[in-house]
Chain A
Amino acid sequence: NAGVTQTPKFQVLKTGQSMTLQCAQDMNHEYMSWYRQDPGMGLRLIHYSVGAGITDQGEVPNGYNVSRSTTEDFPLRLLSAAPSQTSVYFCASSYAQGPQETQYFGPGTRLLVL
């Protein structure tokens, strides 16, 4: 298993550009989420999904769109990049409920918006 993969690892955008951050998992996990991590802010939830076809907004959804057409993929789209979206983005997945289940994080995508 590759686990949770994210591409690209690093990206520089100009203000106003759009792009898609890719996230994929090969563990047949139902739950997937996107977080952003800013210095001194911890991780903040952007969007999440409990399964294919179902998505919902987290704490900081503005400026981002998601879709979940398959169980494996959960892309995050930046519609019109702004410098405030400079951050490290983490995708996470987990299978089911229960204290023994582990949540897996991708390696992160570092985004710089100029």
Chain B
Amino acid sequence: AQKVTQAQTEISVVEKEDVTLDCVYETRDTTYYLFWYKQPPSGELVFLIRRNSFDEQNEISGRYSWNFQKSTSSFNFTITASQVVDSAVYFCALSEINRDDKIIFGKGTRLHILP
């Protein structure tokens, strides 16, 4: 069975600090997708990234970066120079390859960026 664990329930950091959100997953599939989503206080869900299990290269997008390590089944998300607007709940998720209809989510990490 697939499972996603986000051990950090809630994190608070001061603005401009870097912060890493942890994600550990379990799957029997040899190929799969990993995702991160953001849910700001307004409630909508915002897709951030999808990573294919074939590709273990780290990804950087502006202040966001993702560290995928298949050996430890982790897909961690780092925000560099955090801003107040980064305050949100962040979800890590997992799906079989080509099964966007069946995504399994972690319970989320609530991130507070303090001014």
Q: Which residues of A contact B (CB under 8 A)?
A: 31-33, 35, 40-45, 48-50, 56, 58-59, 88, 90, 92, 94, 97, 99-105, 107-108
Contact = CB atoms under 8 A, between A and B. Distances in A.
A33 B33 CA distance: 16
A39 to B, nearest CB: 10
Nearest to B106: A42
A63 B107 CA distance: 22
Contacts of A45: 102-104
A97 B97 contact: yes
User: Dominant SS at the B interface?
Assistant: loop
* Interchain residue pairs A-B with the least CB separation, the first 10: A48-B101, A97-B98, A105-B45, A42-B107, A31-B101, A94-B100, A43-B105, A42-B105, A31-B100, A99-B52
Given A42-B106, A101-B50, A49 B101 contact: yes
A35 B47 CA distance: 15
B107 A41 contact: yes
Contacts of A48: 101-102
A90 B45 CA distance: 9
- Size class of the contact patch on chain B: 20 to 34
Contacts of A33: 100-103
Contact of B55 (A41, A90, A99): A99
A114 B115 CA distance: 39
Nearest to B98: A97
Contacts of B33: 99
Nearest to B43: A108
Most chain-B Cβ atoms within 10 A of its Cβ — which of A40, A43, A88, A100?
Answer: A43
Given A42-B91, A99-B51, A101-B50, A107 B104 contact: no
Most chain-A Cβ atoms within 10 A of its Cβ — which of B55, B101, B106?
Answer: B101
A14 B104 CA distance: 30
